[in-house]
A = this chain, B = another copy of it.
């Protein structure tokens, strides 16, 4: 039995959206998977009843507190010991659940990842990544997308390996092509950071390093499956895509490519490099987005991603 922990109180529209999303995920998860909801039991049961869904389709872990978006993440994680996120990470740390997903406070999710689950030995800094659509129809992985905004090349080089393992294990891409996001194709192009990262990745024979990729080719899928950049650049790319998606939608210039940009279909950002699957959803998650987030957590678990990452960094 595989247990996917879900924060029923996480997200701007929780618990309604979170619980509805969990109900929507029931059809898609594996027969051996079970969703464990952490949250206000009465409210969770009320939403389930409203959806006409028997409560015994889920495990429910009753919690009494909620870490709010305005709370200081580290302080609240400790002070609100009975919050859905703190309790969820307690379950995850002791192995009572196999992964944990929340659309709640990103800061608190990171605190839990770093202090309850802890970085994998050998990983300098864990990272958050995002799946980006490409015109080929195949997804690509961009990392880091906002956790580490001042990155040393050694850190970025590790993201090449982490991203490669994730892309192969979870996205099913065989021998993923890894590239550095850069402002030119040539080896000598870039800033101090990207040039040094290039050298380190080039020397890493555990990955299929294909060199630099310019942002113009990010969404073509032609150059790379895994694209490494620092969190400032990655976050900017992601936010720009989001902004253009909304502009396109408003202007009626939609198509399948842009639909794939919709965060609802992506379903959260995995925290990579910690000792358990953790997925952070978008604060404004709709039920559909919560469903995708839960499925994304399930894929990380079934792919045995954590063990694969741990092995890779053992040397």
- Of residues 214 through 238 on chain A, the ones whose CB sits less than 8 Å from some CB of chain B are 214-220, 230-233, 235-238
Q: A214-B243, A216-B240, A219-B240 are known; give 7 further A-B pairs, CB within 8 A.
A: A135-B247, A191-B230, A191-B232, A214-B239, A215-B240, A248-B255, A248-B257
The answer to whether B232 and A190 have CB atoms under 8 Å apart is: yes
Contact status of A243 and B255, CB under 8 A, knowing A233-B232, A236-B233, A237-B236 = no
Across-interface contacts of A146 in B (CB, < 8 A): 183
* Residue of B with least CB distance to A134: B247
Across-interface contacts of A258 in B (CB, < 8 A): 253
Nearest first, the 6 A-B pairs at minimum CB distance are: A216-B243, A215-B240, A149-B191, A215-B239, A216-B239, A183-B235
The answer to whether B183 and A149 have CB atoms under 8 Å apart is: yes
Q: Does A254 contact B (CB under 8 A)?
A: yes
**Per-residue CB proximity of A239-275 to B under 8 Å, as 1/0?**
1111110111011111111100000000000000000
The answer to whether B220 and A247 have CB atoms under 8 Å apart is: yes
Q: Does A315 contact B (CB under 8 A)?
A: no
Chain A contact residues: helix, strand, loop or mixed: helix
- Of residues 153 through 185 on chain A, the ones whose CB sits less than 8 Å from some CB of chain B are 181, 183
- Of residues 254 through 300 on chain A, the ones whose CB sits less than 8 Å from some CB of chain B are 254-258
Q: Give this chain's copy count.
A: 2
Q: Does A59 contact B (CB under 8 A)?
A: no
Q: Does A130 contact B (CB under 8 A)?
A: no
Q: How large is the interface on A (under 10, 10 to 19, 20 to 34, 35 or more residues)?
A: 35 or more
**Per-residue CB proximity of A73-89 to B under 8 Å, as 1/0?**
00000000000000000
The 18 sampled A-B contact pairs (Cβ below 8 Å) are A135-B251, A149-B191, A150-B192, A183-B231, A183-B232, A183-B235, A215-B236, A215-B239, A216-B240, A216-B243, A218-B240, A219-B247, A220-B243, A232-B233, A233-B233, A236-B237, A248-B255, A251-B257
Across-interface contacts of A150 in B (CB, < 8 A): 191-192
Across-interface contacts of A244 in B (CB, < 8 A): 219, 241, 244
Q: Does A194 contact B (CB under 8 A)?
A: yes
Complex Cα gap A247–B253 (Å): 12
Least distance between A138 CB and chain B CB atoms (Å): 14
Complex Cα gap A254–B253 (Å): 6
Complex Cα gap A146–B230 (Å): 17
Contact status of A181 and B219, CB under 8 A, knowing A150-B192, A253-B254, A253-B255 = no
